[in-house]
Structure 1
Amino acid sequence: MLELKLVLLLLLSVFPEGLAAPSQVPVQLPESQIKPHKLQGRFLHITDIHPDPHYRDGGSEKSACHRKKQKKAKRRGGYYGLPYSSKCDSPFSLSNFTLDFLDKEWSSEIDFVIWTGDSARHDNDRKRPRTTAEIYELNRILSNKMETVFSSKGIPVVPSIGNNDVWPHNIMMPGPNSVTSEFSSIWRSFVPFESYQVFQRGGYFSVEVIPNAVAAISLNTMYFYDSNKAVGGCEYANPEDPGNLQFDWLEVQLETFRERGMQTVISGHVPPSSYNFFPECYVRYVNLSLKYQDTILGHFFGHMNADHFFFLEANDLSNEPRRTNDTDSDKVGTLKKRKALYNGLLQDFSELPKSSQNTNHGDYGVVNVSPSVVPNPYLPSFRIFTYNTTGTPYHPGHFGDEDREQLVTGGGDSLLTAQRLRDGEAAGCDERGNNSTQACRSRNWHSSPQSPSRSNRLWTLLGYAQYYLPKLENSDEKRRPKYKLEYMTYPVAKLHPPEAASEAKFHYPIPLKQLPRSLRNATIKESKFAPYGMADLTIPSWLELARRLGDSAETKLRKRFKKYMYMGAGGE
């Protein structure tokens, strides 16, 4: 306890506001600190920082890098952390280095930040068990840093509660409770005043990151997570279950934003999968995601530490959800877990319809899972997404003749989707509103090939660049590491659009200074940094990539996907 107090005193000297008394009302940043921010068409996704105030340079891996004892220790932590670690979390040197880098290199290039939780260390050292006070203090320190780096510049930050941001680990009681109350104080600069009451009840909120155009919805996945035994798991018989209350709120949010002609991004900590969520919570998430497909640009989550994507499928509403990539979801680090996740994804991809013409794109949503900052179990990482700031806006509502023609004649959707345009009674909807049959979906689902999630238009996600911190073990206080581009989803041709040189508007998906030298040459045609060549991040583009990965003949592509998934740790 004495050592923790000393550490907190040290942190106070670095972050003087870190130990301020909790505020019981949401305090917004003063207007003088909010500066106009030109729309850049990019946003940051950062997750699982896991700062550890007890980390010691030279600490043994077995002690979670907390102690230098064990003379014969095979691996010891370095100044910036221990890469490919099984127990060691992030030293403050790493978390500060990462946020300082983002401040210097990216804060002027992005419009908002998605921050998906786990901002406290793991409880992996029995000699130093976590405490509630430490968890909240670590979250407060990182929040203060986020305010300095982003919020003070007018950049919205959208945080989420992680399963390691509560005590005990994985357990969160129905709110309002001490967790929602404390985070109301910690995130006072991030949660809008109008969302304050809802946040105190459940720990979730929405905020317009681009006013009247794009909203971010931050979910509290603790109420869906099947490791949280303090809740009922969205049981149908219990409408007051906190998971059900959150879904009721989410549906109102999506309907309201849709009526206003806005788009949304949905974020949270634990990814919405059949192996992470309670079964009934999973079904409700898939249902709402597909019901409002024309209003949702994408789904962004963390927690798994491994870089991957997967689909929310309409089939899971009528059938028992598959668990082919079932694994302990808290950290995919061991050989067995890596193989289970990788092989499960390839199996799912191989079962997709074999061509776009035979695919009902309205039956899918895409979940993006970003790797972590903590080098446990891989390497520090973050993502910069790009979205379209030009083009024709999408106005949801009744399908027009153009939509009808595309649905009937082709455009990547089957005739089954065209049935949704026909008037008539929708049978088979259960009392809860889950769209368990095609007839029910034909009436209730809002999907269109013209929406930004399905075609490249205003607000469509265009791609992302992933940065990582290699050679961490060779860095020290004098030899600082360097974040480098790991890969990107764009084709090389998209990096140097011809109109960029003549117009002042944003055109470059990645600022040239953030590209490796080999990619700064406009004449380059191919690159190892561009393995996927995706035209954009629409649902049809993701399905096409998944089909390629599901093809056993695509050995080279699969190898690259696996390498990025585990940042070189491999699966063999």
Structure 2
Amino acid sequence: MKHATVLTVLSLVAQVTSNQAPYRVSDISATKKRQPLTGRFIHITDFHPDILYKEGATIESGCHELPKGKDHDEEGSRLASSSNISIAGNTRTAGLAGKWGTGVSDCDSPMSLVNMTIDWLAKEWAHEIDFIVWTGDSARHDLDRNFPRTPNEIFQSNRMMVQQMQQAFPHIPIVPSLGNNDIYPHNVLAPGPNNIISQYTKIWSDIIPNDYEHIFERGGYFSLEVIPDRLAVISLNTLYWYKANTLADGCLDRNKDPGAFELEWLEVQLDQFRGRGMQVWLSGHIPPHLGMYFDNCYLKYGDLALRFQDTIVGHLYGHMNVDHFFFIDVQELEAPMPDAPHISEANLTSPESLVDGPPPRIGPLLEGSGRYRTMGRAANNFLQEELRKDFGEMPGPAKIKLKDYAVVNVAPSVIPTYYPGVRVFSYNISNMEDEDFWSDMKKKRRTGHRHRKKKAKHDCRRPENRDRPHCVFARLPRHYDKASPSRSNGPLSPLGYTQFFLPDVDSTRDIAPDWKIEYSTFHPRKLVPQSSGLTETQPPPVPLHLLPGYDPTIVSLYAANDVPADEGQRSKLVRFEEDMKHITPWKLKDLTIKNWVKLARKVVTRKKSWKKFQEIMYVSSDN
């Protein structure tokens, strides 16, 4: 190991080059009052900023070291040949780090990518969204033994990211979560209070409500009412449920297991928000999956997801860098625990999951791997097949019980594991000021529904069965309602999302590449509503100028369903319609559970849809 490399890293944090400089916002007034609701919010995850990233560095060094003793092009050609690189539209020198990032690689995000992303977010969305869900990993991976991470570097990276996000969105609620790389060592977090959580209490001091400071200091989680008395986002600390956390031991005993205490706290939160007639988004870094959570933690999380289906509007997570969704359902929760996990941490990540000792150099791990080591190409194939199997085994329309399902959304990352991605959700803001409506909702919540008792599949007196759904539902109320926002389109229901990506992240130009729409869950006509609809309560899902091939004249013709007499205009309209079809593969009416189920059936029964689903999983990176 090189001498004094730790000090070198810390000094580089304070001394950054021109295009790596920390972001500053100068054109957004700090005195602007909170705008009216827009019916939109952003979900963003896994920035992984890397102050050590160097343009032109070798990918095998994690984009940290320039080629030595060889011409860059010669070195790049050798690396490209050994790594089987295939990136659509790649314009940088193959095998070497790009100016704005290195697509489909193990390299973390340069500050140029972080800054231009926040710059774009501030420019386009500072006055167009109501809140931000930010699901963790705001520090680089610990993959370079020449420059090992330190706690101070991790905290400084997170402090920098929080400052930048708050500068970009000075009056927008931001709800961050702890990621497995936001702690030292990564993955491993002891029960609180401890120094790590204490540091984040300070870093997030302007974010965590005063009423939650005490509970955050103990466990690293909190709730924030992003729309007072209407909608809350709960930031969960998933590290206490994570199998890779060797300092946690599951969720059996609230007196000694921090994961059990957190789930008990979560239940109280859900019960209180439900009593107030509110809706809740659950958010965190590591998705609730049997392969990644301790078995008993997963069962208890699944129990809460289904017992409070009328209160939880959705589940938002990151960590995996692969764009997908999956279901938590009673059938899976009731199934015997498998001997081997469906998707294990060992399958999904490189040696960053190792805790003991410094990780090996990246280089040897990349040889012959096709540069997929961060997630592992074989593991991603495994994920595809698991999703296809799970979707294919779902009951048919006549047999499925939607009250037995919850949907988990996993967003792509900013770090260019594939291409960088950012997701903008739209949600229903009708009746937000109708006090009679919300009063009726509170009254309705006082009764709720109970799960009808059935013959027990397991002996509920045995400790190992107490968290099985039929055992839990037999002793505790289960709250579900066909009219709830997760089941039926109404106030606060998720209507859809539009995903933006950076297909030109490998560009060598000095001008930052453009964020573009990769796809949207909406029908094309919902993205461009008729002119009469633009003045109504619900704004369009995205500002119209962000649509592909935007031309105000053509957009007006499309919205009015008008065919122009001019041949040139007709040609432009045809191209615009084709562009809109290309970015709207699913055409979902909304994101209620029934439509997620329909989408799952669609992608497993139609070859063309499955091919598109696979393409989207890897953020259209052709990999």
TM-score interval w.r.t. the shorter chain? 0.7 to 0.9
Counterpart in the other structure of 2:100: 80
Instruction: Tell me the CA shift for residue 433 of structure 1.
Output: 6.6
Describe the shift of the 1:132–1:453 C-alpha distance in structure 2 as closer, same or farther (beyond 3 A): same
Residue type at the aligned position of 2:523: P
Q: How does 1:177-216 map to 2 (within 5 A)?
A: 177-216=194-233
Match of 2:582 among 528, 548, 561: 528
Q: Select between 366-375 and 436-445 the one with higher mean Cα deviation.
A: 436-445
Instruction: Tell me the CA shift for residue 443 of structure 1.
Output: 5.7
Describe the shift of the 1:400–1:228 C-alpha distance in structure 2 as closer, same or farther (beyond 3 A): closer
Match of 1:311 among 322, 327, 343: 327
Instruction: Tell me the CA shift for residue 475 of structure 1.
Output: 3.3
Match of 1:373 among 396, 414, 421: 414
SS in structure 2 of the partner of residue 98 of structure 1: helix
- The answer as to whether partners of 1:294 and 1:396 remain within 8 angstroms in 2 is no
Instruction: Tell me the CA shift for residue 6 of structure 1.
Output: 3.2
Match of 2:537 among 499, 505, 508: 505
Counterpart in the other structure of 2:56: 58
Matches of 1:248 and 1:186, distance apart in 2? 26
Describe the shift of the 1:45–1:295 C-alpha distance in structure 2 as closer, same or farther (beyond 3 A): same
Describe the shift of the 1:63–1:290 C-alpha distance in structure 2 as closer, same or farther (beyond 3 A): same
Matches of 1:429 and 1:42, distance apart in 2? 43
1:235-254 per-residue CA deviation (whole Å, 9 max, x = no partner) reads x2564310001001000000
1:162 aligns with 2:179: yes
- The answer as to whether partners of 2:276 and 2:442 remain within 8 angstroms in 1 is no
Q: Among the aligned pairs, what percent are the same residue?
A: 39
TM-score, normalising length: structure 2: 0.80
Matches of 1:433 and 1:212, distance apart in 2? 34
1:485 aligns with 2:517: yes
1:6 aligns with 2:11: yes
SS in structure 1 of the partner of residue 545 of structure 2: helix
Describe the shift of the 1:502–1:106 C-alpha distance in structure 2 as closer, same or farther (beyond 3 A): closer
Match of 2:424 among 374, 384, 389: 384
1:260-316 per-residue CA deviation (whole Å, 9 max, x = no partner) reads 000000000000000111111100100011110100010000000000000011123
Describe the shift of the 1:291–1:83 C-alpha distance in structure 2 as closer, same or farther (beyond 3 A): same
Matches of 2:265 and 2:511, distance apart in 1? 49
- The answer as to whether partners of 1:428 and 1:437 remain within 8 angstroms in 2 is no
TM-score, normalising length: structure 1: 0.87
Residue type at the aligned position of 1:450: A
- The answer as to whether partners of 2:275 and 2:445 remain within 8 angstroms in 1 is no
Matches of 1:101 and 1:285, distance apart in 2? 35
- The answer as to whether partners of 1:461 and 1:536 remain within 8 angstroms in 2 is yes
Q: How does 1:28-427 map to 2 (within 5 A)?
A: 33=31, 35-70=33-68, 71=70, 72-73=75-76, 74=79, 75-86=95-106, 88-150=107-169, 152=170, 154-234=171-251, 236-237=252-253, 239-321=255-337, 323-326=341-344, 328-330=347-349, 333-355=375-397, 357-375=398-416, 377-391=417-431, 395=441, 420=451
1:560 aligns with 2:620: no
Counterpart in the other structure of 1:473: 506
Match of 1:539 among 593, 606, 612: 593
Matches of 1:462 and 1:193, distance apart in 2? 32
Instruction: Tell me the CA shift for residue 513 of structure 1.
Output: 1.1
Greater RCO (Cα-Cα under 8 Å, separation 6 or more): 2
Residue type at the aligned position of 2:386: G
Instruction: Tell me the CA shift for residue 534 of structure 1.
Output: 0.7
Matches of 2:450 and 2:225, distance apart in 1? 34
1:515-548 per-residue CA deviation (whole Å, 9 max, x = no partner) reads 1126943244860100011111101110111111
Q: Which runs of 5+ in 1 are unaligned?
A: 18-30, 404-417
Describe the shift of the 1:98–1:16 C-alpha distance in structure 2 as closer, same or farther (beyond 3 A): closer
Counterpart in the other structure of 2:90: none
1:173-207 per-residue CA deviation (whole Å, 9 max, x = no partner) reads 10000111000011111111111000000000001
Residue type at the aligned position of 1:270: I
1:445 aligns with 2:505: no
Matches of 1:569 and 1:84, distance apart in 2? 7
- The answer as to whether partners of 1:283 and 1:316 remain within 8 angstroms in 2 is no
Residue type at the aligned position of 2:511: R
1:344-393 per-residue CA deviation (whole Å, 9 max, x = no partner) reads 100000000121x3211111100000000001x21111000000001565
- The answer as to whether partners of 2:307 and 2:477 remain within 8 angstroms in 1 is yes
Instruction: Tell me the CA shift for residue 4 of structure 1.
Output: 2.4
Instruction: Tell me the CA shift for residue 421 of structure 1.
Output: 6.9
- The answer as to whether partners of 2:49 and 2:108 remain within 8 angstroms in 1 is yes
Matches of 1:311 and 1:134, distance apart in 2? 37
Matches of 2:406 and 2:259, distance apart in 1? 21
Matches of 1:187 and 1:199, distance apart in 2? 10
SS in structure 2 of the partner of residue 395 of structure 1: helix
Instruction: Tell me the CA shift for residue 440 of structure 1.
Output: 2.8
Matches of 1:5 and 1:221, distance apart in 2? 28
Matches of 2:591 and 2:246, distance apart in 1? 36
Residue type at the aligned position of 1:562: Q
- The answer as to whether partners of 1:399 and 1:448 remain within 8 angstroms in 2 is no
Matches of 1:200 and 1:443, distance apart in 2? 30
SS in structure 2 of the partner of residue 309 of structure 1: strand
Residue type at the aligned position of 1:346: R
Instruction: Tell me the CA shift for residue 501 of structure 1.
Output: 4.6
Counterpart in the other structure of 2:353: none
Q: How many residues align?
A: 534
Describe the shift of the 1:491–1:504 C-alpha distance in structure 2 as closer, same or farther (beyond 3 A): closer
- The answer as to whether partners of 2:193 and 2:218 remain within 8 angstroms in 1 is yes
- The answer as to whether partners of 1:475 and 1:481 remain within 8 angstroms in 2 is no
Matches of 2:23 and 2:514, distance apart in 1? 28
- The answer as to whether partners of 1:78 and 1:473 remain within 8 angstroms in 2 is yes
Instruction: Tell me the CA shift for residue 462 of structure 1.
Output: 0.3
SS in structure 2 of the partner of residue 83 of structure 1: coil
Counterpart in the other structure of 2:546: 514
Matches of 1:270 and 1:185, distance apart in 2? 23
- The answer as to whether partners of 1:51 and 1:91 remain within 8 angstroms in 2 is yes
